[in-house]
Structure 1
Amino acid sequence: MNTDILFREAFRGRRVLILGGLGFLGSSLALRLVDCGATVTLADAMIEEYGGNLRNIAPVRDAAVINFCDIRDAAAMDWLVREKDYVFHSAAQVCHLKSLSDPFPDIDINIKGTAVVMEALRRFNPTAKVIKLGSRGQYGSVLQLPAGEETKPEPKGIYEISLLAAEHIMRSYHRNHGIRCVLSRLTNIYGPRAQMRHNRFGVANWFMRLAIDGDLIPIFGDGRIKRDFLYIDDCVDALLLLAVTPEAEGEVFNIGHDAPSDFLTLAETIVAQAGSGELTFTPFSPERKAQEPGDFYTDISKINRVTGWRPSTALAGGVAETIAYYRENREYYW
C-alpha cells in the first residue's frame, strides 16, 4: 500500500485540528499532515511536564496555526472546531503514577475535556470526523493474549478508567448525534519528539535517555514482561488510515505491534544501538507494582482487516532512529 499517495490525496486542502498538538503524538501527526498538504491547527495547554514542546514542530512552525488553550475551555473549543474536516484528539492527562495520588486531573481533563470537545462539535461542526487516541491501559489485566477489541475492559486505575469513560462519551455522541468518531487504543509508542525529562510515561524513550547519558537502565523483576513496542511513524500511519476509512467510523481499534518483545530485550537493543548505557535489575516499587498489568500485547487483526495497516518498523530500526534524533536535538529535551 502506497500510503504517501493515499494520504496526499485524502488530506490535501483539508482543515485539521489536533488537540494536544505540541506533544509527542500530536506533533508527529502535524508533521505528516502538513507534508500531505493539510491546513493544520494545533491546540495545546502546555501543561508542565506533559510533553508539549515547540521544538517538536520546528520543521512546520510557519505552516501550522498554534493556539495555546485547554480542551476544558468551552469557548476555545467552540471556536476551534468550526469548519474543520478532521479533529485528532490526543490531549489527555497521561501519567499513570500521578493518578494514584491525585485522580482529579484525569477526571477533569480526560472526561470533562472530552465532553467539552464533543459538545463543541455537536453545536458547531457535527460533520467533522474525530479520531480519539486512547490507551491499551484501558484493558487492564487480561487473561488471554493477544488482547482483541472484544476483550472486556478491566482498567486498574483512575487514569485508565478516565480514558475508557472518554471513549464512551464519544460513542454516545456518535450514536445519539451522528458525529463520526473513530476510537483507537494505542500500545507502547516510542520515537522522536516524546518528552525526555522524567520517567513517568514512555518507558522506551526513558531507557534511551539513560543509555545516551551512559547511565544504568533499571530492569524491574527479571525483565521478561512482554509489551508490543510501536514506532511513532507506524502509529501515525495507522491513525491516518483510520481517519480516511469510512468503515472505521464508530469502531474501536487496537494500534500495536504484532511482534511483542520484553523489557530486557528492549533495554539490550537500546544499549546495542546507543553504544552506551548499562543494565541493572531492580525490584518493583510499590507504586509500579500496583499499576503493572503483567504481560500485555494487542491483537491488530481488526485494523489490518479494515485498513490494511501493519507496522513496518522493527525494534532495532526504530530505536536507532530515535537515538539519532535525540543526540542531534538533546538541548531541547533534556
Structure 2
Amino acid sequence: MTDIDKDILPAFAGKRALILGGLGFLGSSLALRLAGAGAKVMAVDAMIDEYGGNLFNIEPARDAIQVNFCDIRDASAMEWLVRDQDYVFHSAGQVCHLKSLSDPYPDVDINIRGTVVVMEALRKVNPRAKVVKLGSRGQYGPVLTLPAGEDVVPRPKGIYEISLLAAEHIIQSYLSAHSIPCVLTRLTNIYGPRAQMRHNRFCVANWFMRLALEKEPISVFGDGLIKRDFLYVDDCVDALLALAVHPEAAGGVYNIGHDRPSHFRELAETIARVEPGASWRYTPFSAERKAQEPGDFYSDITKIRTLTGWQPRVDLEEGVRRTLDYYRQHKARYW
C-alpha cells in the first residue's frame, strides 16, 4: 500500500497548485494537505451561497494558502490564475443533484461552460499544467453489475450528472487536441470534516451526523438497505494526490471509493452507536428523491489500487467518530 506521507507528499514540495472550489469541502481538504507538503497553494472560490465555501475550512493553514474570490466562468481571471501552475485541481461546480430538477441552468453554465473556460485558459497560457478533475459516481447512473468499473457505459439520470459527464469529455478533448495532461476521477459518497452542514441537499452522511448532534432522529429512506461505498475525506485526498503525481495516470478515468460498501441503515446505526443519544427511523422517499435515486452503487477501485497502491485506510466507524468530533468542536462555524 502507498505511504502517502513518504511516497507522495514530498513530490509537491515547491510546486504550484491551483484549487478551483478551494474553500469547499474537498477543495479545502486538498489545500490543507498540499500546503502541509510545502506546495504553493492558491484556493479559488466564487463563494456561491449554500455551496459550502467557508474560509474557516483553511484556518489551520491560513497564512500558507493564497485565496482568490472569483468564478471559473471569468475567462480573464482564469487566464491569469492558471499561469505558471503545476497542478490544477478542478472541484468547482454546481454540486446539488436535487437543484437541477427545478433549475438546470447552473449545471450547464457552471459545470459545462465553466470547464470550457478553464481549459481554454490552460490552452492559451499553460498547457503543461496537469489537471485533476473531481467528478461523481452519479455519472454512471443506474448500473446492473456491481461493483461498477470504469468500463461501465454511463447512463446518468439527471442534468447534474449529465453536466459532469460532459465536463469530463470536454477535458478529455483538450488532452486529445492540445496535449493538456489530465486525470479524471469519479468520487463516491465522500464525508468528513469541512463539508457544509446548513442543509441536506448534498453529503447525506454528514447530514445524518448533524441530526445526531442535534438529537434529532435520522431519517432513513425506504427500507434503508440501499448500498453506497462511503469514503472518508482524507482517504479521498490521498487518492487524488497519488493520481496527480503518477506519471502513468494522465488520460485515465479512475473510481475513488471504498471497497467495503455499507447500506444507509448501517450508516445510521453506526452514527447512533458513536454519538450518545442519537436515534434513527424509517421514512418514505419524497417524490423528488425517488426520481433521482439510482439504487445500489459501489465502485470497483481495482484500477487506482493497481496503478498507485492506494486503498482506503479509514473504516466507517472511525470516519464517523472523527467527523462528529470535528463538528462538535466547530459547530458554530458550520450550523
TM-score range for the pair, normalised by the shorter chain length: over 0.9
The answer as to 2:160 corresponding to 1:159 is yes
Counterpart secondary structure, 1:281:
strand
**Aligned-pair distance for 1:7?**
2.8
Cα distance in 2 for partners of 1:63, 1:298 equals: 35
Cα distance in 2 for partners of 1:238, 1:8 equals: 12
Counterpart secondary structure, 1:205:
helix
Determine the structure 2 residue equivalent to 1:175: 176
AA aligned opposite 2:104: P
Cα distance in 2 for partners of 1:38, 1:51 equals: 24
AA aligned opposite 1:39: K
**Unmatched runs of 5 consecutive residues or more in structure 2:** none
**Aligned-pair distance for 1:48?**
0.1
Cα distance in 1 for partners of 2:56, 2:275 equals: 23
Determine the structure 2 residue equivalent to 1:201: 202
1:102-122 CA distance string (max 9 Å, x none): 000000000000000000000
The RMSD of aligned alpha carbons is: 0.6
The answer as to 2:329 corresponding to 1:328 is yes
Q: Percent identity?
A: 69
Counterpart secondary structure, 1:59:
helix
**Aligned-pair distance for 1:6?**
2.3
**Unmatched runs of 5 consecutive residues or more in structure 1:** none
1:104-154 CA distance string (max 9 Å, x none): 000000000000000000000000000000000000000100000000000
Q: Taking structure 1 as the reference length, what is the TM-score of the superposition? A: 0.99
**Aligned-pair distance for 1:2?**
2.1
Determine the structure 2 residue equivalent to 1:229: 230
1:64-88 CA distance string (max 9 Å, x none): 1100000000011000000000000
Contact 1:121 1:128 in 2 (8 A): yes
Determine the structure 1 residue equivalent to 2:86: 85
Cα distance in 2 for partners of 1:275, 1:113 equals: 44
Counterpart secondary structure, 1:62:
helix
Contact 1:186 1:256 in 2 (8 A): yes
Cα distance in 2 for partners of 1:71, 1:271 equals: 40
Determine the structure 2 residue equivalent to 1:273: 274
Superposed, which structure 2 residues align to 1:1-334 within 5 Å?
A: 1-334=2-335
**Aligned-pair distance for 1:230?**
0.1
**Aligned-pair distance for 1:8?**
3.2
Counterpart secondary structure, 2:98:
helix
**Aligned-pair distance for 1:280?**
1.2
Cα distance in 2 for partners of 1:3, 1:136 equals: 24
Counterpart secondary structure, 1:183:
strand
1:209-252 CA distance string (max 9 Å, x none): 00001001001011000000000000000000000001110000
**Aligned-pair distance for 1:271?**
1.1
Cα distance in 1 for partners of 2:120, 2:102 equals: 30
AA aligned opposite 2:114: G
Runs ≥4 in structure 1, deviation > 4 angstroms? Answer: none
AA aligned opposite 1:295: D
Counterpart secondary structure, 2:165:
helix
AA aligned opposite 2:39: A
1:256-282 CA distance string (max 9 Å, x none): 000000000000101111112211111
Counterpart secondary structure, 1:29:
helix
Counterpart secondary structure, 2:248:
helix
AA aligned opposite 2:50: E
AA aligned opposite 1:11: F
Count the aligned residue pairs. Answer: 334
Counterpart secondary structure, 1:96:
coil
Cα distance in 1 for partners of 2:310, 2:91 equals: 20
AA aligned opposite 1:307: T
AA aligned opposite 1:128: A
Counterpart secondary structure, 2:220:
strand
